[in-house]
Amino acid sequence: MTIRARALPSLLRCVVCHGSVSAKEGRRCGGCSAVWHLDCRLLLDACPTLGCSRRVGSPTGRHRQPPPRRPSRLPNLLRWAVVFAGVGTVAALIMIPNLIEARRGCGSGGAQIGALKTIGTSQSLFREGDKDGDGILDYGTLAELSEQDLIDTVLGSGTKQGYFFQAYPSSTTPEFLWCAVATPCRWGRTGDRLFFTNHEGVTYYATTPFAFDTASCQVPPGMNPVGK
């Protein structure tokens, strides 16, 4: 008995479009022998036959490689965000004590002394120019100095840079005497010193509350000149 090999059919079915394809023109899967048109192969990445996972070669005989994946920039951005956040936190921890000390230092000196000197200069201008127009060369209150634009409205309101300011013409001789004081709005927070000045033009400070006489406008006992 002679066994002859069965001849392959001259026309086959494309597993993609199910159209006829000749054995010569078609392309065959190396795993399951499925056949497809050369043009249909362009639609494939792997054999469509169920259970066959063989990858399909390109028409040039090479396997098509997937396009390279671009590295994501998100991890780098997150890394830099963490770095900047850490630097900001460290800077804040360093600067906050300095800012608090600077704020207390401002409330303990320069700005308040400067405001009292401004009041002293304004008092001289107010008196010599008879700014209130009453025919008497006398000194004025903060409100009167502010009305004549001799001091700014913030200082004229009596509160500036964490301090309360008050100016008093003498209750008995306003033509010759006046005094002014500056006290912290919140003791220990906006300042820890109190200031006093009068017609003599010297600014004094104290670290404890003091009483003063608005008639004599004399420097209260126990106060020290600024700078000593």
Q: What is the CATH number of the domain that holds 18?
A: 3.30.40
Cα 21 to Cα 47, 80, 190, distances in angstroms: 16, 58, 93
28, amino acid identity: R
* Residue 98 is assigned to a structural domain of this protein: no
Asked if the structure places residue 200 within a domain, the reply is: yes
Question: Could you tell me if 141 and 158 are in contact, meaning their C-beta atoms sit under 8 angstroms apart?
Answer: no
The pair of structure tokens assigned to 157 is 């309101």
The contacts found for 41-45 with CB under 8 angstroms, 24 or more apart, are 41/16, 43/16, 44/16
SS3 224: strand
pLDDT attached to residue 38: 72
Domain-embedded: residue 91: no
182 three-class SS? strand
Question: pTM of the predicted model, to two decimals?
Answer: 0.54
Q: Are residues 114 and 51 in the same domain?
A: no
Residue 132 sits in the same domain as residue 191 = yes
Residue 179 DSSP SS3 = strand
- C-alpha span between 202 and 210 (Å, rounded): 17
Same domain, 140 and 196: yes
At 140, the amino acid letter reads: G
Residues 114 and 212 placed together within one structural domain of the fold: yes
Q: Of 66, 14, 69, nearest to 45 (Cα)? A: 66
Distance CA 20, CA 120 (A): 109
Low-confidence ranges of the chain (pLDDT < 50): 3-8, 58-64, 102, 104-108
Does residue 145 share a domain with residue 44? no
Number of domains in the chain: 2
Q: Which amino acid is at 78?
A: L
The SS3 of residue 169 is: strand
- As beta bridge partners, residue 21 has 12
Q: Is 158 exposed, middle or buried (0-12, 13-18, 19+ CB in 10 A)?
A: middle
Q: Are residues 193 and 138 in the same domain?
A: yes
Domain that holds residue 52: 10-62
Is residue 201 left, alpha or beta, with left meaning phi > 0 and alpha meaning psi from -120 to 50? left
What pLDDT score does 79 carry?
A: 74
Within-domain flag for 166: yes
Task: Identify whether 67 is part of a domain.
Answer: no
User: Looking at this protein, which amino acid is placed at residue 152?
Assistant: D
